[in-house]
Every structure is written in structure tokens, then in C-alpha cells.
Amino acid sequence: DRPLILVSGKLISHVLTRLADRFDIKEIARPDAELLQPDDRERVRGIAASFLGVPASLIDALPNLEIIASYGVGYDAVDAGHAAEKTVVVTNTPDVLTDEVADTAIALLLNTLRDFNRAERYLRDGSWPDGPFPLSKGTLRNRRVGIFGMGRIGLAIARRLEGFGVAIAYHNRRPVDGVPYTYHATLGDLAAACDTLINVAPATAQTTRAVDAAILQALGEDGVFINVGRGATVDEEALIEALQARTILAAGLDVFANEPHVPQALLDADNAVLLPHVASASQHTRKAMADLLVDNLESWFDRGEALTPVPETAAISRKA
Ligand code: GLV
Ligand code: GLV
């Protein structure tokens, strides 16, 4: 018999097409158990979870749930600790999006430094015949770049930055074996040694609002902050103040504290480049993420093994 998979939130159609070959599917718009009939709650054995995540309340409402296959590498929106207590395995989609997100970090950094988005608006507005676009204050030349989070994505960003001839340093919970860049044991030490900070750290209790007023201040007047990790990792109020007071030069943000809400003060800031959380959002990479999500579900129900379980649930194997 075919296991029932709950598809929670919006996922690309490739997920649904592939799931339908092997599973029964029930779609709900939000990860909310109230949207399910009692007999469906009994039948659900897996969740295909969008970026909206999975709260403990949904896990508790599904007595026969075995696996939550989440879309994306960051799984802070899934209550993986609660899933582990209930022996529910959680998977994410690492590796397949590493290069895309690293490319985005570099593109956002260059755009932020060189003001290309505003330059394009200037051309489209018809302002060019009135005179050249103002010279950018920012440049990548002679920058000292600090990377917060030296996982696979952090490393891919650093490898790309090597080609630009900038100094590269990082902060991570621990130094990473085989990584040749300067390690700083605290984020404060990293910020003091750098003028450019790129955040790719996962959102955890330890990293919540870690990029605060003091960290931003330490970057200095030429400071640039790039965020392709999570909005929760930065104190957004402090960032807005630093941009308004120009105690830093600029910020490039793909993620926000309360998505899809973006504070008006950021929308008004001429020294911020803002993207709607698109770091991994190419058709190529989103399809690869969808395939890995479905591969995790198939592997679990065919062989009792998840392909890419998150660390909190890596020890869980399928009950016979
Ligand atoms: C998206 O933000 C992801 O974590 O993959
Ligand atoms: C984080 O950097 C990851 O790719 O897991």
C-alpha cells in the first residue's frame, strides 16, 4: 500500500509529479493540523515540507509520522528536536544548492559594493543623458572579508573569493580541518579584523541576533554586511540604525527577520541591496533540491534509510 505524504505549503510541481508516482498525497497550504481531517491525520506517514517548516504541534497531531523531508539546507523552521524525541527523522537538501548560494553571495557582494542595481535604474529612468552615474564608494579592492559559518557554503564562498585576491578569514563554532583561511574564535574578533562580513551561519539559539550593533560597528565606516544565511542571525534594528547613521557603508540582504515582511526603513535605505530570498532559486537548483527531497522519502520507505538526515535525527532508523 502507498504511504500518505502530506505536502505542506507551496513546493515546485516537480515534487508533486514525482511524489505521485510512489505515494498518495494530501496538500495543505500551511503546516497546520487544523487543515487535516482526523482520518488523514492517522494516515500521514511522511511530510514534504516547504520553507514554512514544521512546528511541534503538527508533529504531535500525526501519530504515524515517520519522516519530515524538508526543502532547503537550513531547517530552523522544522522542530527537529521535537521530531527526534518522537523518533521522526528529518532530512534537508544540502550540497545540491551549495554552488548556487555561493554564487549569490558573490553577486550580492559585488552589487552592494558597486551599486549596480541603482545604476540600472538610473539608465532605465532615462537619467544617463544628464550625466554619468555617481562613482561607487564601494569596491572589492583591498577588502578583508570575514565569513561567519564555515560549512559547505562558507567554503564555496571562500574558494570563489580567492579569485578576487581579497584577504579571507572566518568564524565558526570550531576551526574547520583543512580550511586554509584565518580562524577567529569569536565573531567579535572576526569583525574587528575585517571590513566585510558575509553571514552563512545556520540559525540556532547560539546565532540568534549574533550580528548586533557592536559587530556592525567593528566593521567600520567602510563596513559591508552580506546576509545569505538567515534574518534571525542579525539584529535588524541595529542594522537599520547602522545603515541610516552610515556607521557602515552598505548591506546586501537576501534574508530578513520576518519574511516576507521587509521593514520600510530598509526599503527606504539607498545603501542596501535587497533580494526576496532567492539564493538557491534557479530552476536547475530548485529541481535538484526537489529531487533530493523526494529521494529521501523513497529511500526511507523502500530501504528504511534517509539519504541526508539532519544531525539531530541521524541516529533514527526505520521501525520494522
Ligand atoms: C534556504 O534558505 C535554504 O535554507 O535552503
Ligand atoms: C552549510 O554551510 C551547509 O552547506 O550545510
Asked whether residue 264 falls in the same domain as residue 289, the answer is no
Closest CA to 201 of 220, 226, 180: 226
Asked whether residue 65 falls in the same domain as residue 133, the answer is no
The pLDDT of 97-111, averaged and rounded, is 98
Lookup: cell for 8: 505542506
Reported ipTM: the value is 0.63
pLDDT digits (tens, 9 = 90+) for 242-266: 999 999 999 999 999 999 999 999 9
In angstroms, the CA 108 to CA 126 distance is 25
Asked whether residue 36 falls in the same domain as residue 162, the answer is no
In angstroms, the CA 60 to CA 250 distance is 44
Is residue 200 within 6 Å of ligand 2 at its C-beta? yes
Domain contains 67? yes
Asked whether residue 133 falls in the same domain as residue 244, the answer is yes
- 26, 47 Cβ separation under 8 angstroms: no
Asked whether residue 134 falls in the same domain as residue 84, the answer is no
E strand or H helix that includes residue 45: strand 44-49
Q: How many domains does the structure of the chain reveal?
A: 2
User: Atom 1 (ligand 1): residue with closest C-alpha?
Assistant: 72
- 277, 259 Cβ separation under 8 angstroms: yes
Is residue 73 within 6 Å of ligand 1 at its C-beta? yes
CATH number at residue 132: 3.40.50.720
Is residue 280 within 6 Å of ligand 1 at its C-beta? yes
Q: Is the peptide bond before 263 cis (omega within 30 degrees of 0)?
A: no
Index of the ligand 2 atom closest to the CA of residue 149: 2
Domain contains 204? yes
Domain contains 319? no
pTM exceeding 0.90: yes
Asked whether residue 238 falls in the same domain as residue 292, the answer is no
> What residue numbers bound the domain in which 204 lies?
98-274
What is the pLDDT at residue 1? 83
Asked whether residue 167 falls in the same domain as residue 212, the answer is yes
Give CA separation, 181 vs 76, 78, 100, 211, 228, in Å: 27, 32, 22, 21, 20
pLDDT of residue 17 exceeding 60: yes
How many Cβ atoms from other residues are within 10 Å of residue 24's Cβ?
A: 15
Domain contains 318? no
Asked whether residue 81 falls in the same domain as residue 212, the answer is no
Give CA separation, 309 vs 98, 170, 297, in Å: 17, 26, 11
Asked whether residue 190 falls in the same domain as residue 241, the answer is yes
Domain contains 320? no
Closest CA to 4 of 65, 76, 56, 61: 65
